Amino acid sequence: MERANDYASVMGRKAEIMLKSVGIDYSKFESGSIAFDYEKMMRETGYTLEEMQNIQYSVNVGNTPILELKNITALARACAPAGKGARIFIKDEAANPSGSFKARRAANAVYHAKKLGYKGVIAATSGNYGAAVASQAAIAGLKCIVVQECYDSKGVGQPEIIEKARKCEALGAEVVQLSVGPELFYKFLLLLEETGYFNASLYTPFGIAGVETLGYEISMQFREKYGKDPDVVVCTNAGGGNLTGTARGLAKAGSHPTIIGASVSLAGLHMASDEAFNKKSFTTGHTGFGVPFSSWPDRSDVPRSAARPLRYMDRYVTIAQGSVFYMTETLASLEGLEKGPAGNTALAAAFALAQELDQDKTIIVQETEYTGAGKHVQPQLSFARDNGIEILFGDPKDEIPGKNIILPSHPSLLKTTEVDLDKMRKSLIRTAMKTYQVEEPTEEDIRFLAEETKSTEEFVRAQIKANKAEVQK
């Protein structure tokens, strides 16, 4: 029987394709209302921390070093009020086989795929995750397809994404490149159906649980080296898995630092727009993913995302593109470390955040990523300039994404902007009621939503009341 492969028909088969390609029956965790059992999902379909460590260490993933950035700390102190300027550290995740923390997610996903007998894995990503899956599939002897959004309608590609395509191919993967559009998901579903491969989604419990080792290591390494846990952990936030996994891992170590999410501000640029595509100077770690995925995690390629950052975030800040490029350059110039810009989003934020804290406090940026042709401060700025983006020195608060990139004219101008978490919490509650068409959330729903939003049942009840009043108007 010939199956219809038009957009609507393929999307209509989504649930069936997903069940086959992920091997998780998500309905087991559903309550029938808004709530679902997140912890049960993580427990029954993920791995224990010890199992994950064994899986990752057996394929040379993890145990990356923590580096103290003494010169960047000194620069922050030179900009801070007297007595302020926490010690800044980074966890050098670029030391993983594929050059980023994504190796942790991929190691688990590929291990799981192989255990279940899949012949290959597919990942839909333009980011470092593609190379991570390709690297792990190479070790496991599985086939690998990476589907990327890469070019605009003129065939011009983001240098950062083209470099990632090169790396995936170098590691033996087939790379399917697409032009701009959310229908990447359509092609992804068709490929899953055609090949019967495992969906190495970024958002399954195994993928997210794979990052727990990162949080756990931070605590263990810090205790061993500095005799205490870090005070603040800053995570670059896009799809939410990085922050979620790290926070869960820290909690498993009994460590409860302040968790701050950080995204590059791309305010005003439409993510599915062909014209805006090459006006971005960051292809990940930005608000175009970070804000929607935090406000509503279940927009991913699985029915229930295991990445639920709003559950763990104490603060969420944005930082301008020019500030991240500035910090990337400074990391090379003052610390002798060349790393990819997107991974330095949290570092740029940490530089500003450290200045709020006393000098005896510690702040750790939990990742770095590899750098190279295309994926480096130089080609990314050069590409921006070629696309008509003005690059100038000034105050980063005047930066308009898609129009200019403002390099701070002095490091003291490098500041974060606070995202209103209550607004995101309210948005999540509103979307939950709308999506599940629930007017009277159950007691279980209310408890669930309080956990989902790291708020209280009172906050949730007040929001539900406000939503109902809104509907009746």
Partner 1 sequence: MIKKGEWVRIHKIILTPEERAPQVPDDTRAVPLELWVKGFLQADAEIGDQVEIETVTGRMETGKLIEVNPYYTHDFGKFIPELLQIDKQTREILFGGGK
Interface ranges with partner 1 (CB under 8 A): 6-7, 71, 74-75, 78, 120, 143-145, 150-151, 153, 159, 162-163, 166, 169, 172-183, 186-187, 194-195, 270, 272-275, 326, 329-330, 333-334, 373-374, 376-383, 385-386, 391, 393, 407, 410-411
Q: Identify any residues that bridge with 364 across adjacent strands, giving them in sequence order.
A: 89, 233
| Nearest to partner 1 of 159, 441 (CB atom) | 159
| Closest to partner 1 by CB, 231 or 338 | 338
Indicate the angle between helix axes 377-386 and 159-170, nearest 10 degrees. Answer: 130
Q: Are strands 258-264 and 232-236 parallel, antiparallel or unpaired?
A: parallel
**343: its two tokens:** 């991974």
Tokens 């846990």 — which residue?
229
Dist. CA 70–CA 169, nearest whole Å:
37
Q: C-beta of 61: minimal distance to partner 1 in Å?
A: 23
Closer Cβ to partner 1, 173 or 419, answer by number: 173
Secondary structure, 3-state, 372-440: ECCECHHHHHHHHHHCCCEEEEECHHHCCCCCEEEEECCHHHCCCEECCHHHHHHHHHHHHHHHCCCCC
Q: How far apart are CA 245 and CA 231, in angstroms?
A: 18
How near is the Cβ of 285 to partner 1 at its closest, in Å? 20
- Nearer to partner 1 among residue 169 and residue 451 (C-beta): 169
Work out how close the CB of 332 gets to partner 1 at its nearest, in angstroms, rounded to a whole number: 8
Considering the complex, what minimum distance in angstroms separates the CB of residue 333 from partner 1?
4
| 57 or 393: CB nearest partner 1 | 393
Output the smallest distance, CB 407 to partner 1, in A. Answer: 6
**Cα–Cα distance for residue pair 180/277, rounded to 1 Å:** 7
Provide the H-helix boundaries in 239-320. Answer: 241-252, 287-295
C-beta of 286 vs 311, nearer to partner 1: 286
Longest dimension (CA), the chain: 74
Residues in Cβ contact with 353 at an 8 Å cutoff, skipping those fewer than 6 apart: 86, 232, 234, 260, 317, 363, 416
Residue 295: name the closest of 310, 307, 284 by CA: 310
Closer residue to partner 1, CB minimum distance, 70 or 468: 70
Host H or E run for residue 42: helix 38-45
Q: How far is the CB of 64 from partner 1 (least distance, A)?
A: 26
What is the number of other CB atoms lying within 10 angstroms of the CB of residue 38?
18
Q: How far is the CB of 376 from partner 1 (least distance, A)?
A: 6
Specify the residue, 217 or 301, whose C-beta has the smaller distance to partner 1.
301
Q: Which helix (H) or strand (E) holds 87?
A: strand 87-91
150 vs 250 by CB, closer to partner 1 = 150
Amino acid present at 135:
S
Burial-class residue 39 by CB neighbours within 10 Å (0-12, 13-18, 19+): exposed
Helix axis angle for 443-452 and 421-435, nearest 10°, is 140
Print burial letters for 90-119: b (CB count within 10 Å at least 16), e (below 16): bbbbbbbbbbbbbbbbbbbbbbbbbeeebe
Q: How far is the CB of 389 from partner 1 (least distance, A)?
A: 12
Q: How far is the CB of 93 from partner 1 (least distance, A)?
A: 23
Angle subtended at Cα 462 by Cα 456 and Cα 463, rounded to the nearest 5 degrees: 95
How far apart CA 377 and CA 368 sit, in angstroms, is: 14
Nearer CB in complex with partner 1: 173/450? 173
CB 103, min distance to partner 1, A = 21
Instruction: Closer to partner 1 by CB, 146 or 419: give it.
Output: 146
CB nearer to partner 1: pick between 180 and 446: 180
Query: What is the smallest separation between the CB atom of 275 and partner 1, expressed in angstroms?
Result: 5
Of 129, 52, 143, the C-alpha closest to 93 is 129
Q: How far is the CB of 217 from partner 1 (least distance, A)?
A: 30
